[in-house]
A and B are shown apart, each in its own frame.
Chain A
Amino acid sequence: MRVGLFIPCYMDAFEPEVGIATLELLRRFDLDVTYPFDQTCCGQPMVNTGCHEEAAATEALFVRNFSGFDYVVAPSGSCTHQVREHMTAIPQTPDVVAVRARTYELVEFLHDVLKVDAFPWAEFPHRVSYHNNCNALRGIGHARPSELHAPFYSKPLDLLAKVKGLEVVELARPDECCGFGGTFCVFEPAVSAKMGHDKVRDHARAGAAYVVSADSSCMMHQRGSAERLGLPLKFIHIAQVLNGAAA
Chain B
Amino acid sequence: MSHPQEPDRHRMIHPDLAVSDDEAPRSPDGHRLEHGAGTSRPLRPRSHEPQPRGARVHGHRPIDQNEAAARFIAAPEHEQMHDERLWDLRQKRDRQMRAIPEWEELREIASRIKQHTLSHLDTYLEQFEAAAKANGVHVHWAEDGAAHNRIVHAILRDHGARRLIKSKSMLTEECGFRHYMAASGIEVIETDLGERIQQLDDEDPSHIVVPAVHKLRADVADVFARKLGTDPDNDDVHYLAERQREATRPLILEADAGLTGGNFAVAETGSIVVCTNEGNADLSGNVPKLQIHSVGIEKIIPQVADLGIFVRLLSRSALGSPMTQYTSHFRGPRPGTEMHVVLVDNGRAARLGMEEFWTSLKCIRCGACMNTCPVYRRSGGLSYGATYSGPIGLILDPTFDKRKYSTLPFSSTLNGSCSNVCPVKINIHEQIFAWRKVLAEARELPLVKRAMMSAAGKVLSHPALYRTAIRTADSALKVLPRFVVYNPLNTWTQGREMPPVPKSTFHDWYAANHPAPAEDPTSPEAKP
Contacts and interface: CB of A to CB of B under 8 A. Distances in A.
Contacts of A35: 510, 514, 517
Given A65-B523, A147-B372, A148-B420, A177 B415 contact: yes
Given A64-B524, A232-B1, A196 B496 contact: yes
Nearest to A175: B417
Given A50-B437, A175-B417, A40 B463 contact: yes
B374 A176 contact: yes
Q: Is the interface of B mostly helix, strand, loop or mixed?
A: helix
A136 to B, nearest CB: 11
Contact of B476 (A14, A23, A198): A14
Contacts of B4: 125-127, 209, 247
Given A14-B502, A185-B485, A46 B495 contact: no
Given A49-B449, A50-B445, A67 B522 contact: yes
Contacts of B466: 9, 40-41
Nearest to A49: B453
B342 interface: no
A204 B453 contact: no
Interface stretch (A104-112, A138-146, A237-245): A138-146
Interface string A156-182: 000000000000000001011101111
Given A147-B421, A186-B487, A231-B16, A54 B456 contact: yes
Given A188-B411, A207-B8, A221 B496 contact: yes
Interface stretch (B33-41, B66-74, B188-196, B329-337): B66-74
Identify whether the interface residues of A are mostly helix, strand, loop, or mixed: helix
Nearest to B453: A51
Interface residues of A, number: 102
Given A68-B522, A186-B492, A232-B10, A17 B502 contact: yes
Contacts of B1: 232
Given A16-B509, A43-B460, A179-B374, 11 more contacts: A9-B460, A10-B485, A13-B501, A14-B501, A40-B461, A41-B466, A49-B436, A54-B456, A57-B458, A147-B372, A186-B492
24 contacts: A4-B522, A12-B470, A13-B501, A14-B476, A37-B507, A38-B526, A40-B462, A45-B483, A48-B433, A50-B435, A50-B439, A54-B457, A58-B461, A134-B414, A175-B417, A193-B495, A194-B73, A195-B378, A198-B83, A201-B16, A207-B8, A217-B484, A230-B14, A234-B2
Interface of B: 1-2, 4, 6, 8, 10-11, 14, 16-17, 65-66, 69-70, 73, 79, 83, 87, 94, 97-98, 100-101, 103-104, 372, 374-375, 378-379, 409-417, 419-421, 433, 435-441, 445, 449-450, 453-454, 456-463, 466, 470, 475-476, 480-481, 483-487, 489, 491-492, 494-502, 504-507, 509-511, 514, 517, 520, 522-526
